[in-house]
Amino acid sequence: AAAPRPARSTTPPSSTSRRPDAKESAPAGTVAGESDPRFENGPLAVVDVEDGQVVAYCVGGLVLDVPARSIPALVDWTLREAKLGAPKLSGPGKDADPLLVLTEAACERYGLPAMLTEEERLAGRLPEGHKVIKQLHRAEWKLTKRGLAPWARIYRPATGSERACVQLCIPSWQALDTRHWDTAGQLPPAELARVLGVYASRVMTPRGSTAVNGLELMTALHPPTRATAPDESGRRTSEHNPGSLGKDAIDPMGWPPCEVPDGHPVLKDLPQFHVRGPAEKLFEEAYDWARPMTDAECSLRHLVGIDVNMAFAAGANGLNVGLGEPEYVEAPAFDPKLPGSWLVDLSHVDLSTVKVGKDKWAELDGSLLPSPFTPKGDRPTGPAWYATPTVAYAVELGYDVAPIEAWIRYDNGRYLDGWYNRLRDAFLATMADLGVSADLSPAGFLAAMDGCKSRDPELAIVVSAVKATVKGGLGKLRERPRGEGWRPGEPWRALSRPTWRPDIRAAVISRTRINLHRKIVKHAAFTGRYPIAVLSDCVVYAADGESPLDFLPYREGKPLPGGFKLGINPGLVKHEGTQSVLWGEEVRERFNAPELNLARYIKDGTVTDVDNGE
């Protein structure tokens, strides 16, 4: 059962009320603003209209009366009276701006359309001549370059340390993507305040898509600058914050060509239709591999999928990544402690004989395993670019490596550790509220996971959003412009961000894929079982029974060291789904795709479209 939701002790002022039937916005100990009187009403409010009166639903069931009659007045009221916002997440950081979520009724009350037109939706904003934008300009409020959009920022330039900024979220303009927020945009105001309030208290106050939040969280935890110690006159100045990415982006023309996506300015001299291969481009991506089943596997009854919890977050934990600019080196000695990109030939690594422990080797059937070095699981055929974790794994398997060249980042650190910890804690706390704790037995964990989302659908939305924050934030590290790549003279705004770091994204994906392969190898060496298919963080095995416990080698409740372990912590696995072997064979035969990736469909067995394995 979900954790109890105790009433807050703060006595609301006369302009507020608390709905007696309202759920607490967050389980015990997670309501932002409780300890900071500046933000005693929490990080955000959902603004609605009831019986002709504008009201603001805050966390904890608190409801404020809103006297503002226009959007500029609403912004003023928020900053002067509403006591909304959240404290900064790190010492040199900034407090979170208050967030106002406008319902359709609130939009109409304040002169905004309840829905965007098709033209406005494609533009992603209201036109500059809209009356509300004119009202804001007359009141000397500014909008960012994205304008009055589904997520908008209304501000005045900061004076000293004082900020005057309010974030807007408009769900009816599709601000809350249903892929990540499910039905949050259709929830009643109090319930929506609860969902967003839990996310704000455990992750951060949302200020855009989950991908934007993932990136903003990195910066909030590692601000680019900090204040110096006071000088003789007591003045402080700004300096680089150690461990951060700094405030200046890397010069686009200074990027290693192997690390950037197609269309990047540094590749402008390549022939128009040139296709870069592994020796020119870093192909660190998640797995998409499958193989035909053996006769022995076809004689079993079931295909069972297991899925790694928060796999990419776990891949970021403890990972050393580059902080500064890279340095080019020819014929370097490989150093697993140095983040970078290495051109090296790993085609000699033979998975039929691998090292699985100190002075311990295992003989495996390499034809039944994906290569750890390519997303498609094919064995490399020559030199290719790899991130440090991939090359380090080749050494771990017992093979020598001799890099031809490399781009190495000597200025490095564990930049993502705080980010991982924050998202891990948010995930675990919310899953615990859904009845899935970290101390359950394997069988108890499987039972607790069964139907956990139905115990509190609102908190299940938070879980989905936290997961999307991980993947989206990492994706933003290599954000590309809309359309077919970059053309000279066109903007690629992401390149101006210090957080445009495709090398960090590649390192996390590399480590995540290697972590998974290491478990697959341990499992094969100990049990003789090999995966049928692997898709990103999901692995499918053939088994006699329907449960992961029918093929995971637990002994007296203890898992195989270094192998798969059932549990809710990031890096551990859960049951993804079970289908019959006959289902798998029939689907592959129906679509004439003997290597169709069954991991894509194992969850519910629905197969609507396939690519015939190509």
- What's the pTM value of the predicted model, to 2 decimals? 0.93
| pLDDT in the model for residue 16 | 60
168 pLDDT more than 80: yes
Q: How confident is the prediction for the chain on average, in pLDDT?
A: 92
Q: What is the pLDDT of residues 132-151, one digit of tens each?
A: 999 999 999 999 999 999 99
DSSP assignment of 39-51 equals GTT-SEEEEEEET
3 pLDDT more than 70: no
- Can you read off the two tokens belonging to residue 109? 């009350």
Name the H helices within 207-322: 210-221, 295-298, 311-316
Residue 198 lies in a domain: no
Tally of domains in the chain: 2
What DSSP character marks residue 555? Answer: B
Residue 592 lies in a domain: no
Residue 115: count other Cβ atoms within 10 Å of its Cβ. 13
Collapsed DSSP state (helix, strand, coil) of residue 472: helix
Q: What is the pLDDT of residues 275-322, one digit of tens each?
A: 999 999 999 999 999 999 999 999 999 999 999 999 999 999 999 999
Angle at 353 between CA 352 and CA 359, to 5 degrees: 160
Residue 577 lies in a domain: no
- Neighbouring C-alpha atoms within 13 Å toward the C-beta of 567: 16
66 pLDDT more than 80: yes
Phi-psi region of 385 (alpha: psi -120 to 50; beta: other; left: phi over 0): beta
Residue 585 lies in a domain: no
Mean pLDDT for 424-442 is: 97
- Can you read off the two tokens belonging to residue 581? 């072997």
294: closest CA among 555, 581, 505? Answer: 581
485 pLDDT more than 70: no
Residue 427 lies in a domain: no
| pLDDT in the model for residue 26 | 44
User: H or E segment at 589?
Assistant: helix 581-590
- Spatial separation of the C-alpha atoms in residues 578 and 368, rounded to whole Å: 21
The answer to whether the beta carbons of residues 332 and 406 sit under 8 Å apart is yes
- Spatial separation of the C-alpha atoms in residues 80 and 59, rounded to whole Å: 19
| pLDDT in the model for residue 483 | 54
Angle at 363 between CA 553 and CA 390, to 5 degrees: 85
- Spatial separation of the C-alpha atoms in residues 24 and 520, rounded to whole Å: 43
Band (pLDDT 50/70/90 cuts) for residue 267 is very high
- Neighbouring C-alpha atoms within 13 Å toward the C-beta of 210: 23
The answer to whether the beta carbons of residues 541 and 532 sit under 8 Å apart is yes
| pLDDT in the model for residue 27 | 45
Task: Tell me whether residue 31 is exposed, middle or buried, using C-beta atoms within 10 angstroms of its C-beta: 0 to 12, 13 to 18, 19 or more.
Answer: buried
Q: Which residues contact 438 (CB under 8 A, 6 or more apart)?
A: 428, 432, 567, 568, 569
Q: Which residue has the higher pLDDT, 417 or 157?
A: 417
- Neighbouring C-alpha atoms within 13 Å toward the C-beta of 470: 28
Residue finishing a domain among 152, 177, 202: 177
Residue whose entry in the numeric block shows the structure tokens 């967003």: 196
| pLDDT in the model for residue 236 | 82
User: H or E segment at 143?
Assistant: strand 142-143
Domain with 327, as residue range(s), is: 321-413
- Spatial separation of the C-alpha atoms in residues 542 and 551, rounded to whole Å: 8
Angle at 197 between CA 572 and CA 101, to 5 degrees: 130
E-state strands within 544-613: 573-580
Residue 119 lies in a domain: yes
Band (pLDDT 50/70/90 cuts) for residue 12 is very low
Q: How far is CA 230 from CA 233, 234, 238, 344, in A?
A: 7, 5, 11, 49
The answer to whether the beta carbons of residues 163 and 95 sit under 8 Å apart is yes
Residue 607: count other Cβ atoms within 10 Å of its Cβ. 16
Residue finishing a domain among 124, 159, 177: 177
Band (pLDDT 50/70/90 cuts) for residue 237 is confident
Q: What is the pLDDT of residues 339-363, one digit of tens each?
A: 999 999 999 999 999 999 888 999 9
- Spatial separation of the C-alpha atoms in residues 496 and 492, rounded to whole Å: 8
- Can you read off the two tokens belonging to residue 573? 């696995």
Residue 90 lies in a domain: yes
- Spatial separation of the C-alpha atoms in residues 196 and 181, rounded to whole Å: 10
User: H or E segment at 355?
Assistant: strand 353-357
Bridge partners, residue 168, by sequence = 100, 152
Mean pLDDT for 458-484 is: 92
- Can you read off the two tokens belonging to residue 6? 């105790």
Residue finishing a domain among 384, 413, 442: 413
487 pLDDT more than 80: no
Q: Which residues contact 226 (CB under 8 A, 6 or more apart)?
A: 91, 92, 238, 239, 240, 241
Least confident of 174-183, 263-272, 376-385: 263-272
Measured distance between the N- and C-terminal CA atoms of the chain, rounded to whole angstroms: 46
Q: What is the pLDDT of residues 204-235, one digit of tens each?
A: 999 999 999 999 999 999 999 998 888 778 78
